[in-house]
Structure 1
Amino acid sequence: MQSPGERCELCGVALASEHRHLLNLSNRAILCSCQACSILFNARGSGSGQYRLIPERYVALPDFRMTDEQWEALMLPVNVVYLFQNSVEQRLMAFYPSPAGATESLLSLENWEELVGNNPVLQELEPDVEALLINRVRDRHEYYIVPLDACYRLVGLIRMRWRGLSGGEEVWSEIARFFAEMNRRASEQMSVKGGSDAGSEL
């Protein structure tokens, strides 16, 4: 099913309502992509290395190890953050959503190596296009590996829905729904993977 008025930002063809995204490495902008362009840019280094196809992997990390001290050392003003490796700048970047949009944390991220040591799954993060998403809103301790466009969507949600000083109940309900969706997507992918693994043993 095509999405009314939405077109591939590389070739201009009309897009289906469900379509992939590409990341422009030079400016971190996300572009809507048709299937053909997604296939074209799927190989790393294609498109002169300017674009990366954003994966569709969602992984919940219920056994993630992060102490309150490690969290507090980030000194973030909010309780949601996403972290990813920037291959262009060759460094880890951390952003948190705010009413003004995504805000980069310019504080030291020295604890990252310790986190990776305690959570080897972080070594699987695809640079630029996958992020560790942390949710500590209202005493939750939730950790996910998600596509970068999911983080951008969360930022947009908060920017659009935030009202007044505290945000208002609507935005907090939307945030709760967003993370419920992250859980659902991760569970669905785990179920599919589990079924495939079981089938391979027959």
Structure 2
Amino acid sequence: MTNIDTITLEVADPAAAERFHAAAFGPTVPLRFRAAQEPSTGFRGFTLSLVVAQPADVDSLVGTALEAGATTLKAPAKSMWGYGAVVRSPDGTIWKIATSAKKNTGPATREFGQVVLLLGVADVAASKKFYADHGFTVGKSFGRMYVEFESTSPVKLALYRRKALAKDAGVAPEGTGSHRLAVNGTAEPFTDPDGFAWETTATAELS
């Protein structure tokens, strides 16, 4: 089964981005940073999510993210599925912090259970087949709306329609240029139908 080891964010200032993410979410988020080479405008077509245990943890992580320099796209709020918020980092990466729990069961922490890389794609069914052909195992699938793949690593891959993902993040769906993202994992290098680049972890470590 193919897995994701780390996510590489392409940013204007890698050192500043690393400082922000460590201050906002702690040092254990599996991220790498490198200088951006290509132009990018608008929505980059992906979001990253931190899945946490309770609403207090959402509030805690949103608070430290805002203190570190993030901006709010969606303030913390209850919904049918739980409780969550969306923020944008100074380098432009969109982060969703969410829990399926609606009540707190203990003191607030900054711990998270999993990171989810959610790609906004033009055709969910076609991308589902593409990733299955590249060794990913489908965990959940909701027709042409949403697909989630199984993972034994800290990062889980999911697919969502681009417009729906942008709406969920609180931004307009339009965007041009680079995704400013590389996915590092166990697969051989490839680029998916929506232009998302994948690199082997060993290659990423050398870049």
TM-score range, shorter chain: under 0.3
Structure with the larger RCO, 1 or 2 (CA within 8 Å, 6+ apart): 2
Which has more radius of gyration? 1
After TM superposition, the score normalised by the length of structure 1 is 0.28
Instruction: Give the structure with the higher percent helix.
Output: 1
